[in-house]
Structure 1
């Protein structure tokens, strides 16, 4: 599927209008409900296929952030053959008590995978924690960056964001 058509399908499936409060605390009248495109297996597969060229060379593990990054990273791993880790917002206090489940991240080149990015706050928090556990992280991928450029918190954290779409180029006529 061509990029513009994929953008139109994501927009038609996930774009909502109204009043919404984002994780960052910002309010907006435009919202992309990621769960709508993540819950459509055919559309999610097309999104993952389109994201493959965005995966930086040398990536050893794809790390999806709870909760929306999990379906995206799982689909992306199918297309890249790379192992994936599922990163919690907090390490669970029982069982393995791990922050990241699945593939080992310590000592490996890890690329963070997220669905929609506004400020990048959760990416920065998770990157900081994974780096403290020995992961080497310089890049993050997302389906939709709500900004025309990389949010400053990501740049400050030494991260490069690779977005499949920005909200500016994700329109009904994308």
Structure 2
């Protein structure tokens, strides 16, 4: 097993796993919380995660699309590392100015690889992929730092978008248990 990847998993977990009383999006109260923004705002961890994503980028990628908000720091670092231009994908087009969904260069007719921090249900990725396709983009891959969906790849099967992740929930669980 890749020792550097195991060390990165441990460092991300150490930095981001919090204990206390937390209300989750579902309304459930939990005693443990994973704050993904703590790795995204740590320059060393963010660089290490982006470096792990570089070989996952499909060869035909013309634009990297970072999803609001968690995908933005990662896509910025990944764009810098690969030299591939980035766009920032909003959850919905802003209602003023240029009324754009994708901020940056035009995605029409381009192969766009999406970038997200954590995928659980795939809802945000699904919405972004469909919206970008409506703008004429070719979207078939999403890169993520952590895929914690229950069955990797199934979350987006209905959109024909494949997931390439640095970590899966199973990997993190097995690495951190050992």
Q: TM-score, normalised by structure 1?
A: 0.90
2:156 match: secondary structure: helix
| Unpaired segments ≥5 residues, structure 1 | none
RMSD (Å), alpha carbons: 2.0
Segments of 4+ moved more than 6 angstroms: none
Instruction: Give 1:1-174 correspondences, 5 Å limit.
Output: 2-17=4-19, 18-22=21-25, 25=26, 27=28, 29=30, 30-147=32-149, 149-150=151-152, 152-170=154-172, 171-172=175-176
CA shift for structure 1 position 56? 1.2
CA shift for structure 1 position 112? 0.6
- Count of aligned positions: 172
> RCO (CA 8 Å, sep 6+): is it higher in 1 or 2?
1
Question: Residues of 1 paired with 2:87 and 2:94: CA distance?
Answer: 15
| Unpaired segments ≥5 residues, structure 2 | none
CA shift for structure 1 position 153? 3.8
Q: Which has the larger radius of gyration?
A: 2
Question: Residues of 2 paired with 1:27 and 1:130: CA distance?
Answer: 33
